Amino acid sequence: MGYEGLYRELDMDVERHQELMDLLFDVYKELFLSRKNRPQGMAYFDGLMAEIHGKRIEELMEIKKQGKPLVGTFCIFVPEEIVVGAGGACYGLCGGAQFSIPDAETHLPRNICPLIKSAYGFKLQRTCPYTQISDVIYGETTCEAKKKTWELLGKLHRVYVMHIPHKKGDVEKDLWRREIEGFMRQVEELRGSPITYEELKKGIEVVNAKRRAMRRLYSLRSANDTVPITGLDALLVNQIAFYDDPERYAAKVNELCDELEERINQGISVFPKDAPRLLVAGTPMAPPNWKLHSVAEEAQAAVVAEEACIGVRYFRDDVDTEGCETVGDLLEALLERYMKIDCACFTPNDERVQHILDMCREKRVDGVIYYTLSFCHTYNVESKKVMDALKAEGIPVLRIETDYSMEDVEQIRTRVEAFVESLR
Ligand code: SF4
Ligand code: SF4
């Protein structure tokens, strides 16, 4: 209860929030802190998780008091470079916990994606300090359930909605250009002053450096047969990218990577050399959604990559600022970078299939788990194309559809264990 004053200032339900934190830390202890042979560099990320609703919120409060914008988002389409350039903070509000879903279901239908229900439920409960502290919550129109939920969320908090195109032609590019410009204007309005060329360029450089550090981790976690870090730990590091200060985060990821290089040199692996290597492809995994990774790695398979928004989709591409001389040029560079995102909300979306096949080759994976959250129609429907392409290449694939409840965990375990066994 060390932050009770802060929570009350943010109009949070302090008692229910404590219930949530108690639950989370029990799970965290069991899944992460009890594991042996973790890199020492994970201590920073454990510490950040311990203070994710504490010190980090104090830091955000400090930013807010300086009049800089705090923007909560639900999608990697929101160009965080603009907020970072304005000196503010941009962080993820996607919900990954079952805790808030029963509350959400008093307003929302049961048969929509748990990520949306979880996030909306946190607002209803007033148990998420990131939601409460946001000057504005940026929703987007990637899927039906999200865009209609923002209408309800808008009654509870200040919400702006960004129209994400669903195709990648010239018309959609024009629309997306206007949306990015509109987003920049909103951020300037929040701060009360225009964002300069130097500021925006700096914001882009900071976020590029964060993505570079994440790519380094991605490459080291499965560089050869030595797997120096579990997929679960790597997932956690990726998830924290959406909460932490970007410059500090990049520095800490690079420190971790230095240690992983050492581990690789010394042949320190957290899995036996012949452990099956898995790629997980599909819907995002917001913390504390660690269900699939923990089950797969308890079955002694190494998760070596995530084709998801908490994985490669977030850090694959940088913003290329070469030759950019004006704010307009930088916005155009942002436009180009963000139009490369291969979310299943696009049609057609063939580049995603190709990316998955490329990742399988690059990471020398033995099998793929195609993961979808229940009622996520875009990723669910797209699974057919992805699975057909994998099968044509002779890559085994298992499809798992689930939500945040633990009711199906033993059933998932049985299926994953059988799949891993078949890969040996
Ligand atoms: S899966 Fe698509 S809609 Fe969801 S966060 Fe990623 S880009 Fe956005
Ligand atoms: S997981 Fe699917 S249904 Fe859920 S918010 Fe993302 S795109 Fe929408």
Helix (H) or strand (E) holding 319: none
Joined together, the tokens standing for residue 252 give 């800490």
Q: Using an 8 Å Cβ cutoff, are 372 and 383 in contact?
A: yes
Return phi, psi of residue 345, to 5°: -70, -15
Tokens of 178: 């206007």
Cβ atoms of 319 and 304 closer than 8 Å: no
**What does the DSSP assignment read for 115-179?**
HHHHHHHHHHHT--HHHHH-SEEEEE-SSHHHHHHHHHHTTTS-EEEE---SS-SHHHHHHHHHH
- pLDDT tens-digit readout, 220-272: 998 788 999 999 999 999 999 999 999 999 999 999 999 999 999 999 999 99
pLDDT at 1: 54
- Which residue carries 């510490």 as its tokens? 47
Say how many residues make up the chain: 424
- Cβ of residue 76 lying under 6 Å from some atom of ligand 1: yes
Handedness of CA 73, 76, 78, 79 (dihedral sign): positive
Query: Which atom of ligand 2 is nearest to 372's Cα?
Result: 1
Amino acid at 292: L
Q: Residues in the chain with pLDDT < 50? A: none
Q: Which ligand is the nearest neighbour of the Cα of 76?
A: 1
C-beta 120 within 6 A of ligand 1: no
Ligand nearest to C-alpha 140: 1
Residue 303: strand, helix, or coil = strand
Nearest listed ligand to the Cα of residue 289: 2
Nearest CA to 241 among 49, 23, 68, 66? 49
Name residues contacting ligand 2 (CB within 6 A).
113, 115-116, 142-143, 145-146, 283, 373, 376, 378-379
CA-based nearest residue to 385, from 370, 363, 406, 373: 370
Nearest 5 degrees, angle CA 292-CA 383-CA 344?
95
Q: Which ligand is nearest to the CA of 311?
A: 1
165 lines ligand 1 (CB under 6 A): no
Looking at all shown ligands, the one closest to residue 145's CA atom is 2
| Ligand 1 atom, smallest distance to 143 CA | 3
**Atom 7 (ligand 1): residue with closest C-alpha?**
343
Indicate whether residue 85 lines ligand 1 (CB < 6 A).
Answer: no
DSSP labels for 81-120? HHHHHTT-EEEE-----GGGHHHHTTTS-SSS-HHHHHHH
If one counts every other C-beta atom within 10 angstroms of the C-beta of residue 136, the result is 18
> Which residues are 398's β-sheet partners?
369
Q: For residue 411, give every residue at least 6 positions away whose Cβ sits within 8 Å of its Cβ, in sequence order, or none.
A: none
Residues 6+ apart with CB under 8 A from 287: 96, 236, 239
Q: Is the CB of 92 under 6 A from ligand 1?
A: no
With a CB cutoff of 8 Å and minimum separation 6, the contacts of 63 are 70, 87, 88, 89
Tokens representing 69 are: 């914008």
**What's the token pair of residue 339?**
């139009």
Quick one: pLDDT at residue 408?
A: 96
Whole-number average pLDDT of the chain: 97
163-188 pLDDT, tens digit per residue, is: 999 999 999 999 999 999 999 999 99
For ligand 1, what atom is nearest to the CA of residue 284? 1
Q: Would the CB of 289 count as within 6 Å of ligand 1?
A: no
Q: Is 372 helix (H, G, I), strand (E, B) or coil?
A: strand
Other C-beta atoms closer than 10 Å to the C-beta of 374 total 17
Residue ranges of alpha helices (H) inside 221-311 are 231-240, 246-266, 291-298
Helix H or strand E segment including 399? strand 397-402
DSSP assignment of 320-355 equals: --TT--SHHHHHHHHHHHHTT---TTSSS-HHHHHH
CA-283 nearest atom, ligand 2? 1
Distance between CA 297 and CA 252 in Å, rounded? 24
Q: Which domains does the chain have, with CATH numbers?
A: 4-41+59-197 (3.40.50.11890)
β-strand partners of 399:
370
Q: How far from chain centre, in Å, is Cα 254?
A: 19
CA 332 to chain centre: 24
Most informative mutation of 345, 346, 386 for ligand 1 (most atoms within 8 A of CB): 345
Cα of 36 to ligand 1 centre, how many Å? 33
Output the CA 143–ligand 2 centroid distance in Å.
6
Instruction: Output the residue whose Cα is nearest ligand 2's atom 3.
Output: 376
Contacts with 15 (C-beta within 8 Å, 6 or more apart), sequence order? none
